[in-house]
Structure 1
Amino acid sequence: MDSLPTSLPLSPDACYAALQARDSRFDGKMYVGVTSTGIYCRPICRVRAPKRENCVFFAHAAQAEAAAFRPCLKCRPELAPGGALRWSVMDASRTLAQQAAAWLDGQTQAEASVEDLAAHLGITSRHLRRIFAAEHGVTPLQYLQTRRLLLAKHLLTDTALPVTQVALQSGFASLRRFNAAFIEHYRLQPTALRREGKAEAADTPSALLLAYRPPYHVEALLEFLERRAIAGIERVDRARRSIRRSLRLGQAGQAGKSCEGWLEVTFDANRPQVRLSLSEGLVPATATILPLVRRWLDLDADPLQIDAALATLPAHACQQPGVRLPGCVDRFELAVRAVLGQQVTVAAARTLASRFVQRFGTPLAQAAPEGLTRLFPEPEQIAAASRDDIASLGVIARRADALRLLAEAWPRLLINQPHASQITHQAAQQELIALPGLGPWTASYMLMRIWSWPDAFLPGDVVLRKQLATPGEPLPSPKRVLELSQAWQPYRSYAVMRLWRATAPSSTELS
Structure 2
Amino acid sequence: MMSAMPPEDTLQPDACYLALKARDARFDGRFFTGVTSTGIYCRPVCKVRTPRRENCRFFAHAAQAERAGFRPCLRCRPELAPHALAWSMQDAGSILAQQAARLLDEPEAWNGSVPTVEHLAARLGVSERHVRRIFEAQFGVSPLQYLQTRRLLTAKQLLADTRLPITQVALVSGFGSLRRFNAAFVQHYGLAPTRLRREGAQPGQEGLQVRLGWRPPYDTAAMLGFFGQRAIAGMELVVPDPAGGRLLRTLQASVAGREHAGWIEARFDIAHHQLLLRVSESLHEALPQVIRRTRAALDLDCDPLAVNAVLHEAFPGRDGLRVPGAFSGWELAVRAVLGQQITVAAARTLAHRLVERFGEPVDTGQPGLTRLFPTPAALAHAEGDPLGTLGIVRQRQAAIVALARAVQSGTLPLHGGADVQATIHALKQLPGIGDWTAQYIAMRALRWPDAFPAGDVALQKALGVQHQRQAARAAEAASQAWKPWRSYAVVRAWAGLALPPPPGTRP
**TM-score if structure 2 supplies the norm length?**
0.92
Deviates more, 1:219-228 or 1:125-134: 125-134
| Match in the other structure for 1:289 | 290
DSSP-derived class of the 1:32 partner: strand
Q: CA deviation at 1:160?
A: 0.6
Cα shift readout 1:9-28 (whole Å, capped 9, x = no counterpart): 74222221121111222211
- Paired residues of 2:33 and 2:44 also in contact (CA < 8 A): yes
| Alpha-carbon distance change, 139 to 245 in structure 1, aligned in 2, over 3 angstroms | same
DSSP-derived class of the 1:266 partner: strand
Selected match of 1:447 from 422, 442, 445: 442
| Match in the other structure for 2:432 | 437
| Match in the other structure for 1:176 | 179
Q: How many residues align?
A: 490
| Alpha-carbon distance change, 329 to 389 in structure 1, aligned in 2, over 3 angstroms | same
Report the AA paired with residue 495 of structure 2. R
Q: What is the correspondence of 1:112-123 to structure 2 with a 5 Å cutoff?
A: 112-123=115-126
Q: CA deviation at 1:452?
A: 1.4
Looking at structure 1, the residues matched to 404 and 96 of structure 2 have their Cα atoms a distance apart, in angstroms, of: 32
Matched, 1:372 2:369: yes
Matched, 1:92 2:92: yes
DSSP-derived class of the 2:272 partner: coil
DSSP-derived class of the 1:299 partner: coil
Q: What is the correspondence of 1:248-259 to structure 2 with a 5 Å cutoff?
A: 248-251=252-255, 253=256, 255=257, 257-259=258-260
Identity, in percent, stands at 51
Cα shift readout 1:446-483 (whole Å, capped 9, x = no counterpart): 11112111111122211112112179x76871111111
DSSP-derived class of the 1:365 partner: coil
| Match in the other structure for 1:131 | 134
Report the AA paired with residue 446 of structure 2. W
Cα shift readout 1:105-134 (whole Å, capped 9, x = no counterpart): 235757322222222222222232222222
| Match in the other structure for 1:500 | 494
| Alpha-carbon distance change, 404 to 159 in structure 1, aligned in 2, over 3 angstroms | same
Looking at structure 2, the residues matched to 403 and 494 of structure 1 have their Cα atoms a distance apart, in angstroms, of: 27
Matched, 1:428 2:423: yes
Looking at structure 2, the residues matched to 180 and 19 of structure 1 have their Cα atoms a distance apart, in angstroms, of: 32
Looking at structure 2, the residues matched to 7 and 391 of structure 1 have their Cα atoms a distance apart, in angstroms, of: 58
Q: CA deviation at 1:417?
A: 6.7
- Paired residues of 2:151 and 2:174 also in contact (CA < 8 A): yes
Matched, 1:401 2:398: yes
Matched, 1:147 2:150: yes
Cα shift readout 1:350-372 (whole Å, capped 9, x = no counterpart): 1111111111111113322x221
Looking at structure 2, the residues matched to 417 and 199 of structure 1 have their Cα atoms a distance apart, in angstroms, of: 33
| Alpha-carbon distance change, 444 to 130 in structure 1, aligned in 2, over 3 angstroms | closer
- Paired residues of 2:450 and 2:483 also in contact (CA < 8 A): yes
- Paired residues of 2:26 and 2:217 also in contact (CA < 8 A): no
Cα shift readout 1:24-65 (whole Å, capped 9, x = no counterpart): 222111111111111110111110101111111111111111
| Match in the other structure for 1:509 | none
Looking at structure 2, the residues matched to 444 and 199 of structure 1 have their Cα atoms a distance apart, in angstroms, of: 41
Looking at structure 2, the residues matched to 302 and 400 of structure 1 have their Cα atoms a distance apart, in angstroms, of: 38
Q: What is the correspondence of 1:404-415 to structure 2 with a 5 Å cutoff?
A: 404-412=401-409, 414-415=411-412
| Match in the other structure for 2:320 | 322
Q: Which runs of 5+ in 1 are unaligned?
A: 506-511
| Alpha-carbon distance change, 232 to 475 in structure 1, aligned in 2, over 3 angstroms | farther
Q: CA deviation at 1:281?
A: 0.9
**TM-score if structure 1 supplies the norm length?**
0.91
Deviates more, 1:113-122 or 1:411-420: 411-420
Selected match of 1:489 from 483, 486, 503: 483
Q: CA deviation at 1:220?
A: 0.9
| Match in the other structure for 2:225 | 223
Looking at structure 1, the residues matched to 316 and 38 of structure 2 have their Cα atoms a distance apart, in angstroms, of: 45
DSSP-derived class of the 1:73 partner: coil
Deviates more, 1:19-28 or 1:217-226: 19-28
| Alpha-carbon distance change, 137 to 406 in structure 1, aligned in 2, over 3 angstroms | closer
Looking at structure 2, the residues matched to 298 and 217 of structure 1 have their Cα atoms a distance apart, in angstroms, of: 11
- Paired residues of 1:469 and 1:476 also in contact (CA < 8 A): no
Cα shift readout 1:140-187 (whole Å, capped 9, x = no counterpart): 222221111111001001111000000001111111111111111111
| Alpha-carbon distance change, 290 to 8 in structure 1, aligned in 2, over 3 angstroms | farther
| Match in the other structure for 2:42 | 41
Selected match of 1:357 from 355, 358, 376: 355
Looking at structure 2, the residues matched to 180 and 290 of structure 1 have their Cα atoms a distance apart, in angstroms, of: 25
Matched, 1:340 2:350: no
Report the AA paired with residue 250 of structure 2. S
| Alpha-carbon distance change, 199 to 264 in structure 1, aligned in 2, over 3 angstroms | closer
DSSP-derived class of the 2:271 partner: coil
Matched, 1:76 2:73: no
Looking at structure 2, the residues matched to 12 and 453 of structure 1 have their Cα atoms a distance apart, in angstroms, of: 30
Cα shift readout 1:197-234 (whole Å, capped 9, x = no counterpart): 43745x82100000011100111111111111111111
Looking at structure 1, the residues matched to 9 and 291 of structure 2 have their Cα atoms a distance apart, in angstroms, of: 26
Report the AA paired with residue 332 of structure 1. W
| Alpha-carbon distance change, 182 to 500 in structure 1, aligned in 2, over 3 angstroms | same
| Match in the other structure for 2:170 | 167
Report the AA paired with residue 425 of structure 2. Q
| Alpha-carbon distance change, 434 to 40 in structure 1, aligned in 2, over 3 angstroms | same
Q: CA deviation at 1:196?
A: 1.1
Looking at structure 2, the residues matched to 504 and 271 of structure 1 have their Cα atoms a distance apart, in angstroms, of: 29
| Alpha-carbon distance change, 237 to 417 in structure 1, aligned in 2, over 3 angstroms | closer
Report the AA paired with residue 380 of structure 1. A
| Match in the other structure for 1:331 | 329
| Alpha-carbon distance change, 375 to 494 in structure 1, aligned in 2, over 3 angstroms | same
| Match in the other structure for 1:11 | 12
Q: Which runs of 5+ in 2 are unaligned?
A: 500-507
DSSP-derived class of the 2:44 partner: coil
Deviates more, 1:125-134 or 1:174-183: 125-134
DSSP-derived class of the 1:504 partner: coil
- Paired residues of 1:414 and 1:420 also in contact (CA < 8 A): no
Cα shift readout 1:469-499 (whole Å, capped 9, x = no counterpart): 179x768711111111111111111111111
Provide the aligned C-alpha RMSD in A. Answer: 2.2
Looking at structure 2, the residues matched to 290 and 337 of structure 1 have their Cα atoms a distance apart, in angstroms, of: 22
- Paired residues of 2:420 and 2:446 also in contact (CA < 8 A): no
Q: CA deviation at 1:102?
A: 2.2
Deviates more, 1:445-454 or 1:95-104: 95-104
Matched, 1:101 2:101: yes
Report the AA paired with residue 455 of structure 1. D
Matched, 1:469 2:464: yes
Q: CA deviation at 1:444?
A: 1.3
- Paired residues of 2:442 and 2:448 also in contact (CA < 8 A): yes
